[in-house]
Amino acid sequence: MKAAVLGATGYAGLELTRLLLRHPQLADGVLLLRRSSASNRVEDLAQLFPALTGNVDYPLEPFSFERLSEAGVRLLFLATPHDVSHELVPEAISRGLRVIDLSGAWRLKQEENRAFYGFDREDSASAGITAKAIYGMPELNRARIAGAELVANPGCYATSIILALAPLLRANLVDREHGIVSDSKSGVSGAGREPTAKTHFVSVADNLSAYGVFGHRHTGEILETLDLGREQLIFTPHLLPIPRGILSTIYLRLSEPMTAVEVEACFRGFYKGSGWVRIFPTPQLPQIQYSLHTNYCDIGFCLADDRRRLVLVSCIDNLLKGAAGQAVQNMNVMYGWNEKEGLN
Amino acid sequence: MKAAVLGATGYAGLELTRLLLRHPQLADGVLLLRRSSASNRVEDLAQLFPALTGNVDYPLEPFSFERLSEAGVRLLFLATPHDVSHELVPEAISRGLRVIDLSGAWRLKQEENRAFYGFDREDSASAGITAKAIYGMPELNRARIAGAELVANPGCYATSIILALAPLLRANLVDREHGIVSDSKSGVSGAGREPTAKTHFVSVADNLSAYGVFGHRHTGEILETLDLGREQLIFTPHLLPIPRGILSTIYLRLSEPMTAVEVEACFRGFYKGSGWVRIFPTPQLPQIQYSLHTNYCDIGFCLADDRRRLVLVSCIDNLLKGAAGQAVQNMNVMYGWNEKEGLN
Amino acid sequence: MKAAVLGATGYAGLELTRLLLRHPQLADGVLLLRRSSASNRVEDLAQLFPALTGNVDYPLEPFSFERLSEAGVRLLFLATPHDVSHELVPEAISRGLRVIDLSGAWRLKQEENRAFYGFDREDSASAGITAKAIYGMPELNRARIAGAELVANPGCYATSIILALAPLLRANLVDREHGIVSDSKSGVSGAGREPTAKTHFVSVADNLSAYGVFGHRHTGEILETLDLGREQLIFTPHLLPIPRGILSTIYLRLSEPMTAVEVEACFRGFYKGSGWVRIFPTPQLPQIQYSLHTNYCDIGFCLADDRRRLVLVSCIDNLLKGAAGQAVQNMNVMYGWNEKEGLN
Amino acid sequence: MKAAVLGATGYAGLELTRLLLRHPQLADGVLLLRRSSASNRVEDLAQLFPALTGNVDYPLEPFSFERLSEAGVRLLFLATPHDVSHELVPEAISRGLRVIDLSGAWRLKQEENRAFYGFDREDSASAGITAKAIYGMPELNRARIAGAELVANPGCYATSIILALAPLLRANLVDREHGIVSDSKSGVSGAGREPTAKTHFVSVADNLSAYGVFGHRHTGEILETLDLGREQLIFTPHLLPIPRGILSTIYLRLSEPMTAVEVEACFRGFYKGSGWVRIFPTPQLPQIQYSLHTNYCDIGFCLADDRRRLVLVSCIDNLLKGAAGQAVQNMNVMYGWNEKEGLN
Residues in CB range of C307: below 8 A, 6 or more apart: C254, C257, C258, C259
**Residue C39: pLDDT above 60?**
no
Do the Cβ atoms of D156 and D323 come closer than 8 Å? Answer: yes
Residues in CB range of C1: below 8 A, 6 or more apart: C25, C26, C27, C28, C74, C75, C335
Do the Cβ atoms of C68 and C4 come closer than 8 Å? Answer: yes
- Tell me if residue A139 falls in helix, strand or coil: helix
Cross-chain residue pair B213–A311, CB shorter than 8 Å: yes
Nearest CA-CA partner of C294 in C326, C337, C336, C249 = C326
Do the Cβ atoms of B243 and B181 come closer than 8 Å? Answer: no
Residues of C with CB under 8 A from a CB of D: 178-179, 181, 183, 185, 203, 205-211, 213-214, 231, 234, 236, 238, 240-245, 247, 249, 251, 253, 283, 285, 287-289, 292, 302, 304-306, 309, 311, 313
Neighbours of chain C (3+ CB pairs under 8 A): A, B, D
Count of other CB atoms within 10 angstroms of residue A27: 8
Q: What pLDDT sits at residue A28? A: 79
Residues of D with CB under 8 A from a CB of C: 178-179, 181, 183, 185, 203, 205-211, 213-214, 231, 234, 236, 238, 240-245, 247, 249, 251, 253, 283, 285, 287-289, 292, 302, 304-306, 309, 311, 313
User: Rounded mean pLDDT of D83-88?
Assistant: 94
Count of other CB atoms within 10 angstroms of residue A58: 22
Report d(CA D198, CA D16) in Å as an integer: 25
Dump strand ranges (E) for chain A: 3-6, 30-34, 60-62, 75-78, 98-101, 134-135, 150-152, 180-186, 209-210, 233-239, 246-253, 277-279, 297-303, 309-316
Confidence of residue D27 (pLDDT cuts 50, 70, 90): confident
CA distances, A95 to each of A91, D135, D267 (Å): 6, 59, 50
Residues in CB range of B333: below 8 A, 6 or more apart: B138, B142, B145, B146, B339
DSSP string, C213-279: TTT-TTHHHHHHHHT--GGGEEEEEEE-SSSS-EEEEEEEEBSS---HHHHHHHHHHHTTT-TTEEE
Do the Cβ atoms of B308 and B253 come closer than 8 Å? Answer: yes
Chain D residue nearest residue B241, CA to CA:
D201
Do the Cβ atoms of A91 and A64 come closer than 8 Å? Answer: no
Which CATH number is associated with domain A3-153+322-334?
Answer: 3.40.50.720
**Residue D40: pLDDT above 70?**
no
Cross-chain residue pair D200–B199, CB shorter than 8 Å: yes
ipTM of the predicted structure?
A: 0.96
- Tell me if residue A310 falls in helix, strand or coil: strand
The continuous run of DSSP H or E covering D31 comes out as: strand D30-34
DSSP string, B143-163: HHHHT-SEEEPPPHHHHHHHH
Counted across chains B and D, CB pairs separated by less than 8 A come out at 60
Q: What pLDDT sits at residue A122? A: 80
Cis? peptide before C283, omega within 30° of 0: yes
User: Rounded mean pLDDT of A115-141?
Assistant: 89
Report d(CA C145, CA D120) in Å as an integer: 59
Count of other CB atoms within 10 angstroms of residue A99: 23
Count of other CB atoms within 10 angstroms of residue A250: 24
In chain D, % helix, strand, coil (3-state, to 5) comes to: 40, 20, 40
Report d(CA C135, CA D122) in Å as an integer: 59
User: Rounded mean pLDDT of A25-38?
Assistant: 83
CA distances, B323 to each of B191, C52, C205 (Å): 13, 22, 30
Identity (one letter) of the amino acid at A114?
R
What one-character DSSP code corresponds to residue C322? I
Cross-chain residue pair D201–B193, CB shorter than 8 Å: no
Nearest CA-CA partner of C318 in C196, C210, C157, C169 = C157
Tell me the chain C residues in contact with residue D302 when contact means C-beta distances shorter than 8 Å: 213-214
Quickly count helices (H) and strands (E) in chain B: 13, 14
Do the Cβ atoms of C206 and D245 come closer than 8 Å? Answer: yes
Q: What pLDDT sits at residue C1? A: 84
Largest CA distance in chain A: 64
Q: What pLDDT sits at residue B41? A: 72
Chain C residue nearest residue D306, CA to CA:
C231
Q: What pLDDT sits at residue B40? A: 63
CA distances, D222 to each of B205, D109, D137, D166, D225 (Å): 31, 12, 12, 10, 5
Do the Cβ atoms of B33 and B62 come closer than 8 Å? Answer: yes
Give the CATH number of domain C3-154+322-334; options: 1.10.287.3510, 2.30.42.10, 3.30.465.10, 3.40.50.720. 3.40.50.720
* Cα-only R_g, chain A: 20
Residues D315, D319, D323, D328: is their CA dihedral positive or negative? negative
Q: What pLDDT sits at residue B230? A: 93
- Name the pairing type of β-strands A30-34 and A60-62: parallel
D156: annotated active-site residue:
yes
Q: Among D201, D208, D209, pick the best mutation site for testing chain B contact (most B Cβ within 10 A).
A: D201
**Residue D211: pLDDT above 90?**
yes
Report d(CA D246, CA D226) in Å as an integer: 20
pLDDT by residue (tens digit) across D148-188?
A: 999 999 999 999 999 999 999 999 999 999 999 999 999 99
Query: B116 — alpha (psi -120 to 50), left (phi > 0) or beta?
Result: alpha
**Residue D38: pLDDT above 60?**
no
User: Rounded mean pLDDT of C265-273?
Assistant: 98
Cross-chain residue pair C195–A193, CB shorter than 8 Å: no
Q: How far is CA D147 from the centre of its chain?
A: 19
Cross-chain residue pair C213–D242, CB shorter than 8 Å: no
What is chain C's mean pLDDT, rounded?
94
Its CATH class, for the domain covering B3-153+323-334, is alpha beta
* Total number of residues shown for chain B: 344
List, run by run, the mean pLDDT of 10-residue segments along chain B (344 residues).
Answer: 93 96 90 76 85 85 94 97 94 97 94 82 85 97 97 98 98 98 98 95 98 93 96 97 98 98 98 97 96 98 98 98 98 98 94
CATH T-level fold of B156-316: Dihydrodipicolinate Reductase; domain 2 (3.30.360)
User: Rounded mean pLDDT of D85-93?
Assistant: 96
Nearest CA-CA partner of C10 in C344, C324, C339, C331 = C324
Q: Among A202, A213, A288, pick the best mutation site for testing chain B contact (most B Cβ within 10 A).
A: A213
User: ∠ at Cα A166 (A165, A171), nearest 5°?
Assistant: 110
Cross-chain residue pair A53–D289, CB shorter than 8 Å: no
Count of other CB atoms within 10 angstroms of residue B119: 17
Domain coordinates of chain B in residue numbers? 3-153+323-334, 156-316
Confidence of residue A47 (pLDDT cuts 50, 70, 90): confident
Report d(CA D188, CA D200) in Å as an integer: 10
pLDDT by residue (tens digit) across C127-168?
A: 899 999 999 999 999 999 999 999 999 999 999 999 999 999
Report d(CA A100, CA A151) in Å as an integer: 5
Q: What pLDDT sits at residue D161? A: 98
Partners of D234 in beta bridges: D181
pLDDT by residue (tens digit) across A205-239?
A: 999 999 999 989 999 999 999 999 999 999 999 99
Between A54-63, C175-184, C287-296, D97-106, the lowest mean confidence (pLDDT) is in A54-63
Cross-chain residue pair A207–B181, CB shorter than 8 Å: no
Partners of A309 in beta bridges: A253
Tell me the chain A residues in contact with residue D201 when contact means C-beta distances shorter than 8 Å: none
What one-character DSSP code corresponds to residue C323? I
What one-character DSSP code corresponds to residue D120? P
The closest CB to that of D289, out of A51, A278, A287, belongs to A51
Give the CATH number of domain C156-318; options: 3.30.360.10, 3.40.1180.10, 3.40.50.150, 3.30.465.10. 3.30.360.10
Residues of A with CB under 8 A from a CB of B: 178-179, 181, 183, 185, 203, 205-211, 213-214, 231, 234, 236, 238, 240-245, 247, 249, 251, 253, 283, 285, 287-289, 292, 302, 304-306, 309, 311, 313
